[in-house]
Chain A
């Protein structure tokens, strides 16, 4: 049966392509990375951010993840941060998955789903593209190939914008 596994339930939530947003402030992101350090969006200030909410049980999430890793390699030296927030799973579940799929971008943990709820994520994967000033510019519900096509074009367009001033 053609179950779109991660676009779960929300049911009314369908893959709809990139949704442009008027540059809007981002909700708070506060999560630990795999080394136990607390990360926030300010850690990535001055970079375009691809913020991806995923889970290890979600097939579409896993399908797009290799393209995120290829994008990371393609963008080495450029001001792009790829950040994957695991939604509402345990550290053990995340570790078990990452033992099978090694990625070079940071993975943050959201075991209690608090970040998932602050960002109002109802389906997985959901990805936010933020400009270098930390403002949300695009939202994608559902998977894509991040290193090509429309996704790459949108990232390149954000990278081409003038850099922001110093963070206040």
Chain B
């Protein structure tokens, strides 16, 4: 093996494992490079990035979907709490989205739980033409400003989400499922074009539960398939 070949193997290995990417204006993220048409920006939840998510990102890249993985908790040294996601700097997220759009591939942002908040704030801050090029997939998004027993829920106001295409993935086994219509209505009222899918027999964070069901374990291992299926069925480009 000559040096050039060795370097090539090394590069391939690094790309397969995810390359840390740092830029003065961008949050630190890992890139799982792929030559395919699509670019997926994966924003992990307030629980931090998990091994099953990294595995799924690798599998997506192996199937041609370039994946950039952002763990806001790690990137900004934040506590693992929902409210931490509200502290992610919007300008950084905007620059991240713009860097992705500049690649020229169709871009889908996938955000989990409260991580939907910095993503939607950044999307709202984009110019309308930029926002219209973006697809956003949200897993059980937590967009409450208040959710107290016996009181009407209140949702965050992001400003204009006009033209933003949003697909919500909602596990059936979640206290939020009965409230999904209100959440969707809130996004629509802000201009987003919304659709949703119910994920049967799953709970929130199914890939990182302490006591997962056998089905959750299996679905955690094949999370990339679920995401590919949703991306393909949605057809947002």
Chain A residues in the interface with B (C-beta under 8 A): 1-3, 5-6, 8-13, 19, 21, 24, 27, 55, 57-59, 87-88, 113, 116-117, 119-124, 126, 128, 136, 139, 141
Number of interface residues of B (CB under 8 A): 33
User: In the complex the two chains form, what is the Cα distance from A55 to B204 in whole Å?
Assistant: 14
User: In the complex the two chains form, what is the Cα distance from A8 to B151 in whole Å?
Assistant: 17
Closest to A121 in B: B149
Contact B149 A12 (CB under 8 A): no
Chain B 135-148, CB within 8 Å of chain A: the 1/0 string? 00000101011111
Residues of B within 8 A of A117 (CB): 178-179
B63 contacts chain A at the CB level, 8 A cutoff? no
* A1 and B47 in contact, given A12-B147, A27-B150, A122-B147 (Cβ under 8 angstroms): yes
Chain B residues in the interface with A (C-beta under 8 A): 46-47, 50, 82-83, 113-114, 140, 142, 144-153, 173-179, 203-205, 208-211
Closest to A136 in B: B150
User: In the complex the two chains form, what is the Cα distance from A6 to B211 in whole Å?
Assistant: 12
A-B residue pair count with CB separations less than 8 angstroms: 96
A60 to chain B, nearest CB (A): 11
Contact A5 B178 (CB under 8 A): no
Identify which of B146, B149, B203 contacts A126 (C-beta below 8 A): B149
User: In the complex the two chains form, what is the Cα distance from A156 to B4 in whole Å?
Assistant: 79
Contact A3 B151 (CB under 8 A): no
Identify which of B82, B151, B179 contacts A12 (C-beta below 8 A): B82
